[in-house]
Amino acid sequence: MRVLVLGGDGFCGWPTSLHLSAQGHDVHIVDNLLRRKIDVELEVSSLTPISSLSERVKAWKGISGSDIKVSQIDIAEQYDALLDLITAYRPDAIIHFAEIRAAPYSMKSSRHKRLTVNHNISATNNVLAAIVESGQDIHLVHLGTMGVYGYSNHGATIPEGYLKVNVDLQDGTSINQEILHPAHPGSIYHTTKTMDQLLFYFYNKNDGLRITDLHQGIVWGTQTRETRRDERLINRFDYDGDYGTVLNRFLLQAALEYPLTVHGSGGQTRAFIHIQDTVRCLELAVSNPPSNGTRVQIFNQVAETHRVRDLATMISSKTGVEVAYIENPRREAAENDLKVENQCLQDLGLNPTKLADALLEEIVEISRHYRHRCDLSKIPCVSRWVAPRETTIDPVVVPLSRKRA
């Protein structure tokens, strides 16, 4: 298949591009290199020494014999260039990773909120409008996030995208139907992914676009089979307060013998998936497009869930590094449940890597090996969800009631 990978230079995009190429697909990367420019803005670097995108694809050609073409296009700003590329390349599938990620980054300031909203929404809408304008029947695969759901509602398992509800009517009957799961985003970044869902809903309904949305948990790990083949192919590893996700930060802290910093009580339950499984899921999604005439296909791309403090304890017990509890910058419940359905991708053949099997390997292979490249001052999260305001405003409490069925 011909696959256009938007955001193909990023943490998920790069190893996905290599994996698809290794599987025999024809891969064309589009990237505006914004993620690398944000490293410049934040004055941080990947812990791992990532090569330039040109060097990456050249190294891959040398090792695998396969070509990956690259177009430097900002899909949020350069619609005509995107449309021209789609028209000329005629992809079977487009994978859309080209959004600004990271909840803390999106909450740093008003400017970051606006950049995240404007870029992400324009990017997604441009891709959709371009597919329609091209007149081609292209399968769009989008990287969503578990963050669209919020957390488990009174212990309910989060379904894959659609929630079964009963609505009582005035005439005494009730309607039983599936609706798009209500959105409960926890940051501006997550809000943009919930807004994307509405664009997908509309273009699917109006134009019949075939779309798969993958609601991914927090990715951990760094390398995949392909990125491991040569250091010039190495994947990025973010450990800073904005882009470093909780588990990778713990792993690096352990390697540095730096206390594992847990925000608040660490009672937040999160969903996780290893980067090796991410690339496998993307290949499964590309190979299993929804039929024409069906609704948006939504999969939860998740291997397991853990409470943050349990993760810290697990790593502490394996490494002897202590745990430090610090203030939580996020506005969220101190403790939450998260039960997630994740059968769809397993039914397609995914057999996920579990944390218990690969944590130590990751610490040795990446965190210890590259710890000399770490700037300790960049580890704390400095973004705050709420700044001091003139008036004290109470948080909004959503009323809920529970009854026996």
Q: Hey, which residues between 65 and 104 contact its own copies (CB under 8 A)?
A: 79, 83
Q: Is 399 in the site for its own copies (CB under 8 A)?
A: yes
Q: In terms of CB distance, is 269 or 278 closer to its own copies?
A: 269
The sheet that has 210-216: what strands, in order across it? 68-71, 26-30, 2-6, 93-96, 139-145, 210-216, 297-301
Q: Burial of 132 by CB count in 10 Å (0-12 exposed, 13-18 middle, 19+ buried)?
A: middle
Determine which residue in the list 49, 182, 349, 380 makes contact with its own copies, applying CB under 8 A. 182
Determine which residue in the list 173, 320, 351, 372 makes contact with its own copies, applying CB under 8 A. 173
Mark whether 205 is an active-site residue: no
Determine which residue in the list 327, 351, 372, 400 makes contact with its own copies, applying CB under 8 A. 400
Determine which residue in the list 33, 43, 156, 380 makes contact with its own copies, applying CB under 8 A. 156
- Among 149, 189, 239, 370, the active-site one is 189
Torsion of the alpha carbons at 119, 125, 127 and 133, rounded to the nearest 10? -140
Q: Is 1 in the site for its own copies (CB under 8 A)?
A: no
Q: Is 126 in the site for its own copies (CB under 8 A)?
A: yes
**Residue 252, H or E segment:** helix 246-256
Q: In terms of CB distance, is 170 or 317 closer to its own copies?
A: 170
CB of 167 to its own copies, least distance (A): 6
Helix (H, G, I), strand (E, B) or coil at 239: coil
Q: Is 343 in the site for its own copies (CB under 8 A)?
A: no
Stretch that binds its own copies, among 94-102, 306-314, 344-352, 380-388 (CB under 8 A): 380-388
In angstroms, rounded to a whole number, what is the distance separating the alpha carbons of residues 224 and 15? 7
Stretch that binds its own copies, among 20-28, 35-43, 113-121, 234-242 (CB under 8 A): 113-121
In angstroms, rounded to a whole number, what is the distance separating the alpha carbons of residues 326 and 245? 16
Mark whether 191 is an active-site residue: no
Half-sphere exposure of 8 (CA within 13 A, CB side): 26
- Among 48, 116, 124, 145, the active-site one is 145
Mark whether 145 is an active-site residue: yes
Binding mask 209-248 for its own copies (x = CB under 8 A): ----------------------------------------
Stretch that binds its own copies, among 37-45, 193-201, 267-275, 357-365 (CB under 8 A): 193-201
Stretch that binds its own copies, among 5-13, 60-68, 344-352, 391-399 (CB under 8 A): 391-399
Determine which residue in the list 43, 61, 69, 208 makes contact with its own copies, applying CB under 8 A. 208
In angstroms, rounded to a whole number, what is the distance separating the alpha carbons of residues 29 and 14? 9
- 8 A C-beta contact, residue 160 and residue 300: yes
Which residue type, as a one-letter code, is found at position 48? T
In angstroms, rounded to a whole number, what is the distance separating the alpha carbons of residues 127 and 133? 10
Contacts 24+ apart (CB under 8 A), 83-90: 83/130, 83/133, 83/134, 85/4, 85/28, 85/30, 86/4, 86/130, 86/131, 86/134, 86/136, 86/138, 87/134, 89/2, 89/4, 89/28, 90/2, 90/136
In angstroms, rounded to a whole number, what is the distance separating the alpha carbons of residues 173 and 393? 41
Determine which residue in the list 42, 63, 129, 256 makes contact with its own copies, applying CB under 8 A. 129
Stretch that binds its own copies, among 30-38, 57-65, 173-181, 349-357 (CB under 8 A): 173-181
CB of 267 to its own copies, least distance (A): 19
Q: Who contacts 215 (Cβ-Cβ below 8 Å, separation ≥6)?
A: 144, 145, 146, 148, 149, 160, 161, 298, 299, 300, 301, 302
In angstroms, rounded to a whole number, what is the distance separating the alpha carbons of residues 308 and 325? 11
Determine which residue in the list 24, 65, 155, 320 makes contact with its own copies, applying CB under 8 A. 155
- Among 16, 108, 151, 193, the active-site one is 193
Q: In terms of CB distance, is 13 or 289 closer to its own copies?
A: 289
Determine which residue in the list 24, 168, 317, 327 makes contact with its own copies, applying CB under 8 A. 168
Q: In terms of CB distance, is 101 or 280 closer to its own copies?
A: 101
Q: Is 40 in the site for its own copies (CB under 8 A)?
A: no
CB of 176 to its own copies, least distance (A): 5
Length of the chain, in residues: 405
Q: Hey, which residues between 270 and 309 contact its own copies (CB under 8 A)?
A: 292-295
Q: How many CB atoms lie within 10 A of CB 277?
A: 25
Catalytic residues: 145, 189, 193
